[in-house]
Structure 1
Amino acid sequence: MQSQFKQRVLGAVLACALPPATAQSADQQEPTTLPAVTVSAAADTGASLNPSVEQERRRLARIPGGTGIALPQEEGKLATLRDVLGHQPGVTVQDWFGSFDAPRLSIRGSGIQSHPASRGVAMLMDGLPLNEADGSYVSSVLEPRNAAQISIRRGANARSPGNEALGGEMDFQSLTGREERGRVRLEAGSFGQQAWQAAVGTVGERFDGRISVSGDRYDGFRHHTNGERDSLQANLGYRGESGFENRSYFAWTDLAYRIAGALPMSRAYGDPSQIMGDGNTAQDRLSNLYRRNPHRNVRQTRLANRSLWGNDALRHELGLWWQNADVEEQNPVRASLWGSDTTGAQWQTTGAPNETLRWRVAAAWSGSDIDRDFYAISPQIGALLQRFGSFDLSARNAHLSAGLDIELAPGWTLVGDIKWNRVERDVKSRSTTAALDREWSYATPKLGVVWKPAANLRTYANLSRSHEAPTFDDLVVTSVSMSNPAQASASLVPLGVQRATTVEVGAEGSLGSGAEATRWQLSIYRSMVDDELIRTTDAAGVSVGTYNYVGGTRHQGVEAGIDGGFRLAGNAFEYRASWTWSDYRFRDGEFAGNRIAGISRHFVNAELLYLADGWRVGPTLRWQPLDEPTDHANSSGYAQKRYALLGLRAEYRNGPWIVHVHGDNLTDKRYASSISVTDRSTPTQMLLFPGSGRSISAGLSYTF
Structure 2
Amino acid sequence: PTGRDASALDARIDGGSFGFMRAQASTGGAEGAFDYFINLSEQREDGYRDHSEGHIERGNANFGYQFSPDMETRFYISANSWRQRLPGELTKSQSLNTPRMANANFVTQDQQRNIDSVRLANKTTVRFDETTIDFGIFSHNRHVDHPIFRYLDFDVDDYGGFVNAVDDRSIGGYRNRFNIGLNLLYGELDYREYTNAGNATKGALQFSTLDKSQIYTAYAEDAFYFLPDVALVAGTQVLHAMRERTDRFLGDGDQSGSRTYNIWSPKVGLLWEVDKDWQVFGNVSRSAEIPTFDANTFAAPANSNLEAQTATTYEIGTRGRRADFNWDLSAYRSELKNELQCVRTSPFALCSVRNVDRTVHQGVEAGFGTAFLKTLFAPDDRLWLNAAYTYNDFYFDGATYNGNSMPGVPKHFLRTELLYKHPSGFYAGPSVDWMMQSFYADNANSLAVDPYALLNFRLGFDAGSRWSGYLEGRNLLDKRYISSAVIAETAPATEALFNPGYGRAVYAGLRLTW
Common fold by TM > 0.5: yes
Q: Residue 577 of structure 1: CA displacement?
A: 1.5
| Closer, same or farther: CA 350–455 of 1 in aligned 2, 3 Å | closer
Which residue is equivalent to 2:61? 234
Q: Residue 204 of structure 1: CA displacement?
A: 2.4
Q: Measure, in 2, the Cα distance between the counterparts of 1:455 and 1:246.
A: 30
| Closer, same or farther: CA 642–374 of 1 in aligned 2, 3 Å | same
Q: Residue 455 of structure 1: CA displacement?
A: 5.1
1:341 and 2:161 aligned: no
1:315 to 132, 135, 148: 132
Q: Measure, in 2, the Cα distance between the counterparts of 1:541 and 1:187.
A: 37
1:276-291 equivalences under 5 Å are 276-277=103-104, 287=105, 289-291=106-108
Percent sequence identity is 28
1:686 to 474, 496, 502: 496
Q: Residue 312 of structure 1: CA displacement?
A: 4.5
RMSD: 1.8
- Once the two structures are superposed, what CA deviation does each residue of 1:343-395 show, in whole Å capped at 9, x if it has no partner? 111101111231511112111101111100111222x5442222111000111
Which residue is equivalent to 1:626? 437
Q: How many residues are paired up? A: 502
- Once the two structures are superposed, what CA deviation does each residue of 1:632-667 show, in whole Å capped at 9, x if it has no partner? 1101xx321111111111111252111111111011
- Once the two structures are superposed, what CA deviation does each residue of 1:371-429 show, in whole Å capped at 9, x if it has no partner? 00111222x54422221110001111011111111111232200011111100111111
Q: TM-score, normalised by structure 1?
A: 0.69
- Once the two structures are superposed, what CA deviation does each residue of 1:474-525 show, in whole Å capped at 9, x if it has no partner? 02587xxxxxxxxxx99963311011111111112334x2xxx201111111
1:28-427 equivalences under 5 Å are 174=1, 176-277=3-104, 287=105, 289-331=106-148, 333-354=149-170, 355-378=174-197, 380-427=198-245
1:563 and 2:369 aligned: yes
| Closer, same or farther: CA 340–490 of 1 in aligned 2, 3 Å | farther
Q: Residue 458 of structure 1: CA displacement?
A: 1.9
Which residue is equivalent to 2:304? 493
2:175 maps to amino acid:
T
Q: Measure, in 2, the Cα distance between the counterparts of 1:589 and 1:264.
A: 30
> Quick check: 1:242–1:309 contact (8 Å CA) kept in 2?
no
| Closer, same or farther: CA 653–544 of 1 in aligned 2, 3 Å | closer
Q: Measure, in 2, the Cα distance between the counterparts of 1:572 and 1:412.
A: 35
> Quick check: 2:77–2:121 contact (8 Å CA) kept in 1?
yes
Q: Measure, in 2, the Cα distance between the counterparts of 1:198 and 1:461.
A: 41
Q: Residue 304 of structure 1: CA displacement?
A: 0.8
- Once the two structures are superposed, what CA deviation does each residue of 1:536-590 show, in whole Å capped at 9, x if it has no partner? 114537433111112x111101111112434345342233211111111000212
Q: Residue 274 of structure 1: CA displacement?
A: 0.7
1:441 maps to amino acid:
N
2:295 maps to amino acid:
D
Q: Measure, in 2, the Cα distance between the counterparts of 1:209 and 1:564.
A: 38
Q: Measure, in 1, the Cα distance between the counterparts of 2:262 and 2:360.
A: 24
Bigger mean CA offset, 389-398 vs 199-208:
199-208
Q: Measure, in 2, the Cα distance between the counterparts of 1:262 and 1:477.
A: 27
- Once the two structures are superposed, what CA deviation does each residue of 1:292-335 show, in whole Å capped at 9, x if it has no partner? 1110000010011111111452211112111100001222x212
1:595-610 equivalences under 5 Å are 595-610=405-420
> Quick check: 1:594–1:634 contact (8 Å CA) kept in 2?
yes
Q: Measure, in 2, the Cα distance between the counterparts of 1:689 and 1:302.
A: 31
| Closer, same or farther: CA 394–616 of 1 in aligned 2, 3 Å | same
Which residue is equivalent to 2:313? 502
> Quick check: 2:245–2:298 contact (8 Å CA) kept in 1?
no
Which residue is equivalent to 1:701? 511
SS at the partner of 1:507?
Answer: strand
1:622 maps to amino acid:
D
SS at the partner of 2:12?
Answer: strand
SS at the partner of 2:351?
Answer: strand
| Closer, same or farther: CA 271–646 of 1 in aligned 2, 3 Å | same
Q: Measure, in 2, the Cα distance between the counterparts of 1:460 and 1:400.
A: 24
1:523 maps to amino acid:
S
- Once the two structures are superposed, what CA deviation does each residue of 1:240-273 show, in whole Å capped at 9, x if it has no partner? 3242122111100000110001111111101100
SS at the partner of 1:240?
Answer: strand
1:548 and 2:387 aligned: no
> Quick check: 2:2–2:36 contact (8 Å CA) kept in 1?
no
Q: TM-score, normalised by structure 2?
A: 0.94
> Quick check: 2:303–2:354 contact (8 Å CA) kept in 1?
no
> Quick check: 1:388–1:490 contact (8 Å CA) kept in 2?
no
2:391 maps to amino acid:
W
Which residue is equivalent to 1:474? 295
Q: Measure, in 2, the Cα distance between the counterparts of 1:195 and 1:319.
A: 33
Q: Measure, in 2, the Cα distance between the counterparts of 1:419 and 1:609.
A: 43
Unaligned runs of at least 5 residues, structure 2 = none
Q: Measure, in 2, the Cα distance between the counterparts of 1:176 and 1:520.
A: 32
1:446 and 2:282 aligned: no
Bigger mean CA offset, 566-575 vs 242-251:
566-575
> Quick check: 1:419–1:445 contact (8 Å CA) kept in 2?
yes
Which residue is equivalent to 1:436? 257
2:98 maps to amino acid:
D
Unaligned runs of at least 5 residues, structure 1 = 1-173, 278-286, 479-488
1:669 to 467, 470, 479: 479
Q: Measure, in 2, the Cα distance between the counterparts of 1:194 and 1:401.
A: 44
| Closer, same or farther: CA 187–453 of 1 in aligned 2, 3 Å | closer
Identify, as 1 or 2, the structure richer in helix: 1
Identify, as 1 or 2, the structure richer in strand: 2
